Structure 1
Amino acid sequence: MNQNLLPQNFIDFISPHIPAHLSLQSFAEYCAKPLRKSIRVNTLKISVDNFIQLANHKNWHLSPVPWCDTGFWLQRPDEEENTIGLGNTAEHVAGLFYIQEASSMLPPEALAFNQTSLSVCLDVAAAPGSKTTQLAAKMNNQGVVVANEFSSSRSKGLFANIQRCGVTNSALTHMDGRQFTYLEETFDAILLDAPCSGEGTIRKDPDAMKNWTEDSVYQIAETQADLIDAAFHALKVGGVMIYSTCTLNPIENQQICLALKQKYPQQVSFEPLNNLFEGAEQSMTADGFLHVWPQIYDSEGFFIARIKKLASIEPHHDNPFTKLGKFPYTPVTKKLAEQFCQTLQNQFACQHFPVEHCYQRNNEIWYFPPEFAKLIGKIKFTRVGVKLAELAKHGFKFDHNLATNFAPLFKQQTFELNSEQAASYLKGQDIWFENDELAKLNKGEVVVLFNQQALGFAKKLPDKLKNQLPRELVRDNVS
């Protein structure tokens, strides 16, 4: 047993909680094994079938994750694995897939399981964005998903991943998750992947248990109890909430859920997850929760509970969100909408742009999620939807996100790059041509594509495509 990975105080603490059909020895052995690399195909950008074809062409070996039809364990050729980081591949930078541990794909799958309404959703602790982007893909960018993150430093990464994956139905908030207690019965579905002691992540992070103490478990559990109570207040009657952690002890898992039911016995119902996927029964608890130990599926440890709200609970008073002030965006005028659509038609042969969901602030034009209007005035947002353009002296200055999110609507002025050209573009370089390959393009903005997915805008010049990738998105080490 690797004492460096599993401190003796943790072994003594966790041993009584290991299920009878599992052993402490197998748990320790799997904790010491390297974690299999796994990815999730981003269906907002590419279909699973097309990604499999792409992977085959690159000699990537994919093995399906049983609980997620877009999830795969990935093996790359040794030479590539040793020289090119998976996150530096052009396919990853273009948002075709998300590097995500297989077990962490379970909470969004459990939330969407047999769920008819995913119209207005909340991800309480959203960074770095794996579950938000997975949920947005399940919603096919319809409705709205509020992605909240309390940590300022982690919020930047959350937005970057939302942007990279082509999520257009997100609304970002930056607040303590306990404040959602005041948004009574606002959300159809809520995902609470709670902050935890991280006992299940040791295979990914050998230092995960370095500072573990039993006292810290109880301290974290107090926060978790507050968060689950707040989220339950914000859940609509008939709605479903997923409570999940990447830790293993029952204090942060089963006991948090059972305490909620004890507090609201007539309002809380646990929905068993034994039918979520084939083999789920191996990790089921008596209460219908999934308690994934590393040795069961050769994955990280995880806990997932599905909770349904049967009736209303007593609301809180003194709502701090009642004095938010006037919302600074207004729907675009009919005249501005017509001008914008005509510009897109002239440049890109775009026939039907969803201007009914467009808003304006000063000289900026934004696309907001279809169901976002229901949340205006209820909560303060840090960023909503997708910036499309700014008003310019002679028309519009297009934003990078217009290309990466709405290029499928464009029927002309697109140009497919090969892998070498795509890497050059993502490094911020211009793409030069020696013949008349650009002859079919009109002057002005061009959407450059890789694997039929938009990387951004370039400007057509006689002998090159001038790079217009925003400086903050330039990646010097992409391959």
Structure 2
Amino acid sequence: MNLPADFIAYTRHLLGEEEYDKLYTALQQETPVSIRFNPLKSMAGYRNDPRLESVPWCSTGYYLDERFTFTFDPLFHAGCYYVQEASSMFLEQALKQYVNVPSVMLDLCAAPGGKSTHCLGVLPEGSLLVANEVIRSRSNILAENIIKWGNPCVVVTNNDPADFTCLEHFFDVILTDVPCSGEGMFRKDATAVTEWSQENVDVCWKRQRRILADIWPSLKPGGLLIYSTCTYNTHEDEENLLWMQHELGAEVLPVDTHEEWGIKGCLIDARLPVYRFMPHITKGEGFFLAVLRKPYGKEENQRTLSAGGPKSGKSKNKGGVAPLKEFFEKAKTWVDKNEEYQLLSLNPSAIYAFPMQYQNELQLIQKYLHVIFAGVVIGEVKGKDLIPDHSLAMSSVLRSDIFPRVEVAYEQAIAYLRKEAVTLDVTAPRGYVLLTYKQLPLGFVKNIGNRANNLYPQEWRIRSGYLPEIVRTL
């Protein structure tokens, strides 16, 4: 790996000769691969797989002995696990230490969804996550991964950070995994090396401060901001924290760790409680994290954090004519614990289920932001039929007894995920059927007897027409 000369000079000065040499050696080695299990899906039986090694700072994270063939693993497409870099899973420690009551959280720069799905698994039950991505194409990828994860307490948005200013004092927690120069990804991504420059570092730390200033008003007084990057330099890390202390009055909070985790601390004179992962010390890529608390204003010293937001205006439902009442009644029977969910139409043909307790928050989000996805899509109305949506198949709200289930073998599962024709046994019931693989939901088909119409989303299908000679899956 040919590192940029300016990066070498700066990082050697920052770390010292001996430690820089260790970092350089580590960057020539193979990148470790890690996954994180979905706590909503029955994965407990896989934890003792000898190919897996626990990630010490993440209760559901595991290193793999070698890379799996993820594209051809039906459990990956079923949202049973997420492929995520191990160092970034440290986010769990900050959330578990400081977020102990149901909260409204924003993941501001969320695509492709690793940290968002992690938050959904760690936040206290009854919390709401808003996962945002500024780039439209990436927000669709984010929505796909959120849907596969199956947690209904989520809204996916496509907005610039400045758009959130209207939601003043709305969020209890904000995660800002800000765009950065990517030094910590050099080993994993060759493009990060070629795109690095000192000029880009300068662009990044200035952009990061704009993002932080834009989002700060939407954090409640006393709320938490979790700041993270995948870079080593102090301009984008410690110096930004000092700026937040000075300009925004933020308090930097400590996170409990264990010495054997090998996490490095502050690299400048200010003794800030920060957490830096470096590949020559920890098993993972470069990652930096800090937790900050927003101060209370004079008139807000006694304010208690709650799940509520600002006072509501009316929602701007851009959908058009809503589905008929009978379709809502039918959709309701498909939802487990349906008294906890409000059924609504966010577009003319689809019926969504969204947590009842966060209806006011959803109205405000719809009023000010561009919503891509919210809650769970229960089904889509076509003519006189309500077709169950793939989002329902993936979700924890699906009533387990409402649709017949048919277990499929590996070859059938791959054919289904390629959106090919699927033929079921003659004994399979007619109508809408939930296919399962290893007893876990894979998606819906409509069995008409001589064939089953494949309802897997066209845009998510496996596009590769061949199967590798060696396939490694869970």
1:474 positional shift: 2.1
Residue number in structure 1 paired with 2:305: none
1:40 aligns with 2:36: yes
Residue number in structure 2 paired with 1:50: 45
Equivalent pairs counted in the alignment come to 445
1:362 aligned partner, one-letter code: P
Q: Which consecutive residues of structure 2, in runs of 5 or more, have no partner in the other structure?
A: 301-311
Residue number in structure 1 paired with 2:14: 17
Residue number in structure 2 paired with 1:295: 280
Give yes or no for contact 1:117–1:188 (8 Å, CA) kept in 2: no
2:247 aligned partner, one-letter code: K
Residue number in structure 2 paired with 1:209: 193
1:299 positional shift: 1.6
Give yes or no for contact 1:233–1:313 (8 Å, CA) kept in 2: no
**SS at 2:446 equivalent:** strand
1:90 positional shift: 1.4
Q: 1:264 to 1:351 in 2, by over 3 A?
A: closer
Q: What does residue range 37-436 of structure 1 map to in structure 2 within 5 Å?
A: 37-47=33-43, 49-52=44-47, 56=49, 61-76=51-66, 85-139=69-123, 142-265=126-249, 268-273=250-255, 275-277=256-258, 279-280=260-261, 282-285=263-266, 286-312=271-297, 326-328=316-318, 337-342=328-333, 344=334, 352-354=337-339, 356-360=341-345, 361-369=347-355, 370-378=357-365, 379-383=368-372, 384-406=374-396, 408-411=398-401, 412-433=403-424, 436=426
1:473 aligns with 2:460: yes
Q: CA offsets per residue over residues 42-84 of structure 1, 9 Å max, x none?
A: 222234x22325xx3xxx60011111111111024xxxx6xx7
Q: 1:95 to 1:246 in 2, by over 3 A?
A: same
1:452 aligns with 2:452: no
1:38 aligned partner, one-letter code: S
1:461 aligned partner, one-letter code: I
1:304 positional shift: 0.3
Q: Which runs of 4+ in 1 moved over 6 A?
A: 322-325, 329-335
1:261 positional shift: 0.6
1:395 positional shift: 4.6
Q: Which consecutive residues of structure 1, in runs of 5 or more, have no partner in the other structure?
A: 316-321, 345-349
Give yes or no for contact 1:240–1:306 (8 Å, CA) kept in 2: yes
Q: 1:114 to 1:137 in 2, by over 3 A?
A: same
1:283 aligned partner, one-letter code: K
1:254 positional shift: 0.5
Matches of 1:426 and 1:28, distance apart in 2: 41
Give yes or no for contact 1:122–1:147 (8 Å, CA) kept in 2: yes
Matches of 1:224 and 1:371, distance apart in 2: 30
TM-score normalized by the length of structure 2: 0.85
Give yes or no for contact 1:407–1:454 (8 Å, CA) kept in 2: no
TM-score normalized by the length of structure 1: 0.84
Give yes or no for contact 2:380–2:387 (8 Å, CA) kept in 1: yes
Matches of 2:453 and 2:219, distance apart in 1: 49
Give yes or no for contact 1:168–1:386 (8 Å, CA) kept in 2: yes
1:425 aligned partner, one-letter code: Y
Return 457-466 or 66-75, whichever deviates more.
457-466
Question: What RMSD in Å do the two structures reach over aligned CA positions?
Answer: 3.0
Q: Quick one: percent identity of the two aligned structures?
A: 29
Matches of 1:313 and 1:31, distance apart in 2: 49
Q: 1:455 to 1:198 in 2, by over 3 A?
A: same
